[in-house]
Amino acid sequence: MVLAHAGVASRRRAAQLIENGKVRVNGLPVTDKGFRLDPAKHEILVSGRPLSGEEKKYHFLFYKPKGVISTVSDTHGRKKVTDFFRDINARLYPVGRLDKDTTGILIVTNDGKLTHRLAHPSFETEKEYAVTVEPFITGSDIRKIERGIRIDGKLTSPCRVKLERKSGKAGVYRIKLHEGRKRQVRRMFEACGARVVQLKRTGYAGLTLKGLKEGEFRELTRKEIERLRELGA
């Protein structure tokens, strides 16, 4: 949905805005959620504000702490990723999601085109995780994960898994994959009888957490942004 990609709101909230007549296209209200919006062809106003324009684009690398949710709004008063960016005068949103108990890399931006490129499955953006599980799993289970685990009736794509170390009954693994299905890493290990006790995304599209502590963020460099825009080109 164009409104969601532009960072106006979540998909659900964007649908509500349309239903409530808050979205105008070329001066006329639109209430059909299936209406095809095209910022290149239409003048789109949301609550009286233009969707398109020369809004400054921000691109941040954020180290998400545990307990923080990856949404732009929440009715339960939980701490959100966007709460860390209140001093930035822009409608920011995270690219993709990490579940509440997962820490690590998130890109936070208001660049809809870049968001689409990074989040769309066809571009196969690589993600790297450090996973601690109990009990540690055997080589045959590792190969099973690497070949693909059936989740919701569909096999996961091939990935790479490496055992970093063992600590008592626990094992620490490094896993690289290109998919981003809901709770995918946790569910792959659970399918092999192991419970994930800690999960951290350490890499995203070649970016790392170097120099950041939990809750900190930095702006991406021009070179990093250009490289991200070239992914899948």
Each residue of 207-222: pLDDT tens digit? 999 999 999 999 999 9
> 44-75, pLDDT tens digit by residue?
788 877 765 556 889 999 999 999 999 888 77
The question of whether 111 is a catalytic residue gets the answer no
Which segments in the chain show pLDDT lower than 70? 1-11, 33, 36-42, 51-55, 232-233
- Every domain of the chain and the residues it spans: 2-50, 59-122+207-230, 126-204
SS3 15: helix
Q: Would the CATH topology of 59-122+207-230 be identical to that of 126-204? A: yes
Contact predicate 225/115, CB 8 Å: no
Pick among 3.30.1490.20, 3.40.50.10860, 3.50.50.60, 3.30.70.1560: CATH of 126-204: 3.30.70.1560
Name the catalytic one among 74, 83, 99, 111. 99
Instruction: For residue 64, give every residue at least 6 positions away whose Cβ sits within 8 Å of its Cβ, in sequence order, or none.
Output: 70, 81, 98, 102, 103, 104, 105, 106, 214
Residue 200, H or E segment: strand 195-204
Look up the CATH number of domain 59-122+207-230: 3.30.70.580
> Which class in CATH covers the domain with range 2-50?
alpha beta
Enter the pTM of the model: 0.76
The C-alpha atoms of residue 53 and residue 145 are separated, in whole angstroms, by: 45
What pLDDT score does 183 carry?
Answer: 93
